[in-house]
Amino acid sequence: MSFLEFVSYSIILKTISYGKKTLSPLAVEALEKTNQLLSLGHYSNHTVRNYLSELRYLFVYYGDVAPSDFTEDMVMEYLLYLCKTLHCSRVKCKMAAQSISFFFKYVLRKPYVIPSLIYPRKSTKLPAVMSATEIKSLIDGVKNIKHRTIIMLLYSSGLRLAEICALKIPDIDSKNMRIKVVQGKGAKDRFTLLSQQVLLELRAYYIIYRPQVYLFNGCRRGKPMSLRNVQYMVQKALIHIGLSNNNYSVHTIRHSFATHLVDGGTDLHTIKELLGHTNLATTSKYLHLSSGRINSVTNPYDALLKKDKNKHS
Chain segment 190-241, per-residue pLDDT in tens: 999 999 999 999 999 999 999 999 999 998 888 999 999 999 999 999 999 9
Report yes or no on whether pTM surpasses 0.75: no
Mean pLDDT in residue range 275-284: 90
The yes-or-no answer on residue 260 being catalytic is no
Does 17 have pLDDT greater than 90?
no
> What rounded mean pLDDT belongs to the chain?
86
pLDDT mean over 249-261: 94
Band of the pLDDT at 11, cuts 50, 70, 90?
Answer: very low
Q: Are 40 and 12 in contact (CB under 8 A)?
A: no
Q: Which candidate in 51, 205, 214, 286 is catalytic?
A: 286
Which pLDDT score, from 0 to 100, does residue 118 have?
A: 59
160, 190, 255, 260: the active-site residue: 160
Task: Provide the residue type at 160 as one letter.
Answer: R
Give the tens place of pLDDT for each residue, 93-134: 889 999 999 999 999 998 777 666 656 566 567 888 999 999
| Residue of 254, 255, 260, 272 with catalytic role | 254
Residue 121 sits at φ, ψ, to 5 deg, of -60, 140
DSSP designation for 81 = I
DSSP E strands, the chain: 17-18, 21-22, 172-173, 178-184, 188-193
Q: Among 105, 251, 285, 293, which one carries the catalytic annotation?
A: 251
Our answer to whether residue 87 is catalytic in this structure is no
Q: Do 153 and 142 touch, CB atoms closer than 8 A?
A: no
Q: Is 203 in the active site?
A: no
Q: For the chain, which domains are there?
A: 3-118 (1.10.150.130), 132-295 (1.10.443.10)
C-alpha torsion 293→298→299→305, nearest 10: 170
Instruction: Assess whether pLDDT exceeds 70 at residue 16.
Output: no
**pLDDT(308) > 90:** no
DSSP character at residue 186: T
Alpha carbon 50 to its chain's center: 13
Residues 292 and 303 sit within 8 Å (Cβ to Cβ): no
- With 60 as the cut, is the pLDDT of residue 283 above it? yes
Checking if the pLDDT of 258 tops 70, the result is: yes
Spot the catalytic one: 185, 240, 285, 293: 185
User: Is 293 one of the catalytic residues?
Assistant: no
Identify the H or E element spanning 208.
helix 196-209
Helix, strand counts (H, E) of the chain? 16, 5
Is 42 noted as a catalytic residue in this protein?
no
Indicate the pLDDT class of residue 299, thresholds 50, 70 and 90. confident
Examine the residue annotation and report whether 240 is marked as an active-site residue of this protein. no
- Whole-number Cα distances in Å, 298 to 262, 267, 293, 303, 307: 18, 21, 10, 7, 13
